[in-house]
Amino acid sequence: MNVLKIMVIVPIFIILLVVIFHTVRSAFDFSKLCSVILSVCVSLLGIIGMDHYLKGSIEVVLLPYAAMAIAILLTLLFSFVGKHSREAKGHCSNRTIKEDGSNIGQG
């Protein structure tokens, strides 16, 4: 099995397992062991079905995660640029006032 495929399938399995376990525990009055077994089985069947349906095309699964990563990186970049842009503006305006001398010693 491809390493990339395992790296994608394991987190998806864990996400499914947590969501399904929480749903089973809140919807039914099963014991914890029974809820875990049912959740693992349903999650495995979901992963097997997803793998079969996508026919090994892992790129389809990775596309939304790639878009999310790009959006997060762009947001951080714009935040960084905006922050440093405001700091540079403040620094330049303070320097202009001090060189002008009109605000020094007044007050």
**pTM listed for this prediction:** 0.56
Percent of the chain topping pLDDT 70 = 81
For residues 78-94, average pLDDT: 77
20 contacts: CB under 8 Å, gap ≥ 6:
38, 39, 42, 43, 46
Reported as a pLDDT band with limits 50, 70 and 90, residue 102 is low
Who wins on pLDDT, 107 or 32? 32
pLDDT of residue 21: 94
Alpha carbon of residue 95 to chain centroid: 41
Q: What is the mean pLDDT of residues 21-39?
A: 91
- HEC profile for the chain? CCHHHHHHHHHHHHHHHHHHHHHHHHHCCCCHHHHHHHHHHHHHHHHHHHHHHHCCCHHHHHHHHHHHHHHHHHHHHHHHHHHHHHHHHHHHHHHHHHHHCCCCCCC
Quote the pLDDT of residue 107.
Answer: 46
